Structure 1
Amino acid sequence: MTRYVLALFALLLSGCMTPAPIQPPSTFYVMRHLDTLEGSSDPDLTEAGQRRAALLADWFAEEPPLAIFVSDTRRARQTAAPLAEKLGITPRIYDPSDSRGLIMEVMKEPAPVLIVAHSNTVPDIVYALSGERPDPLVHADFGDIWRIAGKDRTVTKTRLP
């Protein structure tokens, strides 16, 4: 009887030690909307911002996003529009005051994912996805793209020309 109990216990214990499935590395891109004039509540992109938005469509040639998230502001939608059109993706609208809800939705998407955010939300979003917080952004900080990738969530930052 003791042998039977020990064998049953060993069998149950071995079932508890099954490793968790390995999650594939994910890639996320986070950027602030592109160039706008300072002082407007919902400005359009400037000519420089429109030029960079066109460049963004080619910037993702090697690793295009499968999903794009934008806030419901003209500047965010205009930033993503050329890329979304090129890829045939309809950007998903998110509430910029709910970064936690955004992260939960982004994690459900197949990677890579692009998030077009704002100066006051980019640091929090990058931190939530990587554990690394970028410096605060000022108005002139346009064109930076943070790539968060791999199991260790390595962050690299590049800038559109």
Structure 2
Amino acid sequence: MHKILFSIFILIAICGCNNKSKSIASVDTVSIPDATYYFLRHADKVRGPNAGDNPPLNATGKARAKFWAKQLKDVDFDAVYSTNFKRTQSTALPTAKQNKLEVKIYEPSEDFYSNFKSNHVGKNVLVVGHSNTIPAFVNAVLGDQKYNEIDDSTFGNLYIVKVKNGVAEAELKDFNSWSK
């Protein structure tokens, strides 16, 4: 009789463990934290024959950089990136300062783009680049050729890429008719 009761006890324990394991597995699904990435082209730069290869922002560009910081004031950024140019760093700096962050320099490349999403899971990140690099970067994060190069006279595009459970979606906001 004891052997039968012991066998029944073992059977119940095994069945109970299996059911418990299944319920834990179904409840304990892996979720990827949401992330939001903000992409900007640098603000208006000095132009002309004496501007050189690395021109700074002009007066309108400096005002626009402050405008971006004001527009993004409610975002708690984890990182701010810029290419290694005066105009991109100056565009990124007001937003970085209001978040008490240093501007990190990045080199636009397929390697950097391909690792960006996995290196910034669950983060809010601002990236400042150029008319050709920002659309390429956004497209790389999306895994889709959605955006073309930005026209040389356009400085007010804000690309917002939201990643939910590993899936990226983009929105393009037009701030080209802003006022100082």
Normalising by the smaller structure, the TM-score range is 0.7 to 0.9
- One-letter amino acid matched to 2:39: V
Aligned to 1:153, the other structure's residue is in SS state strand
Alignment-derived partner of residue 156 in structure 1: 171
1:128 to 136, 140, 144: 140
CA contact (8 A) 1:27 1:150 kept: yes
Indicate if the aligned counterparts of 1:106 and 1:113 stay in contact, CA closer than 8 A. no
Aligned partner of 2:118 among 103, 107, 132: 107
Q: 2:158 aligns with which of 141, 145, 148?
A: 145
- Secondary structure at the residue paired with 1:28? strand
Separation in structure 2 between the aligned mates of residue 67 and residue 111 of structure 1, nearest angstrom: 8
Distance 2:150 2:47 in 1: 14
Report percent identity of matched pairs. 25
With normalisation by structure 1, the TM-score equals 0.79
CA distance in 1, matches of 2:111, 2:34: 20
Per the TM alignment, residue 64 of structure 1 is displaced from its structure 2 partner at its CA by 3.1
Q: Calculate the TM-score normalised by the size of structure 2.
A: 0.72
Number of residue pairs the alignment of both structures matches:
147
Question: What residue identity is the alignment partner of 1:139?
Answer: D
Pair 154,127 (structure 1): closer, same or farther in 2 beyond 3 Å: same
**Where does 1:51-62 land on structure 2 (aligned, <5 Å)?**
51-62=63-74
Letter of the 1:46 partner, please give it. N
Larger radius of gyration: 2
Equivalent residue number for residue 80 of structure 1: 92
CA gap 1:159/1:83 in 2 versus in 1, 3 angstroms: same
Q: In the alignment, is residue 33 of structure 1 matched against residue 42 of structure 2? A: yes
Q: What per-residue deviation string (whole Å, max 9, x for no partner) do you get for residues 110-139 of structure 1?
A: 511111011111121011112342122121
Task: Look up the equivalent residue of 1:30 and give its one-letter code.
Answer: F
Give runs of ≥4 in structure 1 deviating > 4 Å: 17-20
* Alignment deviations for residues 52-82 of structure 1 (CA, whole Å, 9 cap, x no partner): 1011111112223210110110001000111
Q: How far does residue 102 in structure 1 lie from its aligned partner after superposition?
A: 4.4
Counterpart Cα distance in 2 of 1:154 and 1:71: 24
Aligned-residue CA RMSD in angstroms?
2.4
Task: Indicate the SS of the match to 2:119.
Answer: coil
Determine the C-alpha separation between the residues in 2 that align with 1:26 and 1:114: 11
Q: Distance in 1 between matches of 2:110 and 2:129?
A: 10
State the partner residue of 1:7: none
What is the match of residue 119 of structure 1?
A: 131
* 2:66 match: secondary structure: helix
1:63 has 2:62 as partner: no
Which amino acid in 1 is paired with 2:58?
T
Cα distance, 1:88 vs structure 2: 0.8
Q: One-letter code of the match for 1:129?
A: V
